[in-house]
Chain A
């Protein structure tokens, strides 16, 4: 199978959907003439023209509100944020307008829109440029939240997001845009709300999502060499998350570790933990564990970054603790 970059997978998803539906357009800072701050939209201006690939001024609140209004009036915008940190300025339009329009209009005005961009830590960018927003947006009814971890999922999920009739928050990573992976030629859609069991195993279930799942994969290999077989679930969709797949796995392994690149308080791990203890309490042979980034604004210095983020060794250690080894 052919191998392409994460950014190319996203671009293919957007371009295919824009060829399919003339109401789909892309808007954001540097998406057109500059070809994308991270080259996700490279070449799209040439193909679709300035009416459909639209450079905006640096005005997140304004252009997000314009996109929401256009979605109420029949269009299907894709809004690119250079990073999700900047989208905090647009949170009013995402949370107060897009997420609530359908309900407050009594079902009359839907907002079919995709908000997408880089999320999470991305090296030495310091605290304001290093935040993860899964829990922040998953908290809000009316939104759907997706976090792909590889090029294949990125393409299939973004196509699903663009076709979805609800507002979708799509969380990528500056650190993943160059990642390569197998992506078949031709069209495919990955349904929203379905997790992927990446690796089967009987000893411990590990739930993760986004780029930090890479340390889980590495730990799984290391543990396998020691005869410990973990089951790895990539959540892919954060809201609504695939509870059934997680519960079924926990009923088999009786042990659960959640690895999340975000702060611990009121996190996705918190929510998963609640649901698992509620639905599978009698199956648990050990307290649920989680590995999170530090409960601090993200640091700048490399030594502090190392201390702030969980690593492969941490995953190996906690899996063994879960097994009382």
Chain B
């Protein structure tokens, strides 16, 4: 496993990681509360525990790189710098949401930030992510595509078809398994004979590594290596990033498939706590400055809820918009 001491990164980087991950955590905690209060409907998959995966990816990429992920997608736009109010409004199905209230929890998009979705069909984003990279290569850019999916999606056949073509064509795509060990309620151990998911690229000779996903420095460094490899024209890398979701698969999950001790063990390596420890140990911030960050995050989350609550629902006329690019498409209405 790739690990890092931590001293290689700047004070500013640590403070940025802390604030970004704390925002993801507090935002998701608020989502969980609001969902229980039935403030919004649909599914709701929280990213709590996995924050270092997004934070370490985004700190290692450039702004022109592209991002595509699965339905557990609230943290990715936050990490990319989207104001959380647009994510929250999307959860509420409001017209001001980042997908105009047309995508909901599983479909967060922002073209300005190169956030190419949130995708609800498990594993569908694996070939699409390679396709995004295909376009970058076709256009001759140095950009890479980050294609994230869970350990469950890794069992879709599309993964093998995509790995084969991505290696054959040396596409600049980085496959990130956000490996939280559970496909909904089914553990990796119960669904495969080969539990080391970093080996999944072996028959395509795809470079791969397992990464400590509870340590943001380790994620950053692995992503940086993979980016360097891809930008040189050498093709994809598979990163099996070992992480953990503290909450259930979705809000309706009784979590009978795992023990409280297991959850506790992972929480003991909490990625946000670790970053905060480093900040305190190295005196990167005073107690007051840390409190200021916490206050800022809380204010942002509160502002997001207020914004979402007060935003309008989409006008009914929006039903027939954004289905076709053709503006006068003749819909059948009876």
Binding site for B on A (CB under 8 A): 25, 51, 56-57, 59, 61-75, 92-93, 96-97, 101-110, 112, 141-142, 144, 164-166, 193, 240, 243, 275, 278
Contacts and interface: CB of A to CB of B under 8 A. Distances in A.
Nearest to B136: A73
Which residue of A51, A71, A107 has the most chain B CB atoms within 10 A of its CB atom?
Answer: A107
Contact of B165 (A51, A62, A68, A97): A62
B302 to A, nearest CB: 25
A61 B157 contact: yes
B127 A108 contact: no
B130 interface: yes
B170 to A, nearest CB: 12
B130 A66 contact: yes
B130 A105 contact: no
B103 A166 contact: no
B100 A51 contact: no
Contacts of A63: 127, 161, 165
B224 to A, nearest CB: 23
Interface residues on B, range: 35 or more
Contact of B131 (A59, A65, A142, A193): A65
Given A69-B132, A73-B135, A166-B326, A105 B103 contact: yes
8 contacts: A66-B127, A70-B134, A72-B128, A72-B131, A73-B135, A102-B324, A104-B117, A105-B102
A92 to B, nearest CB: 6
Interface string B106-123: 010111000011010100
Given A59-B164, A66-B165, A105 B99 contact: yes
A109 B158 contact: no
B82 interface: no
A106 B101 contact: yes
Interface string B140-169: 000001000000000001101110110010
Nearest to B158: A61
Given A57-B164, A107-B100, A64 B127 contact: yes
B116 A62 contact: no
A70 B325 contact: no
B77 interface: no
A69 B68 contact: yes
A61 B117 contact: no
B127 A93 contact: yes
B102 A106 contact: yes
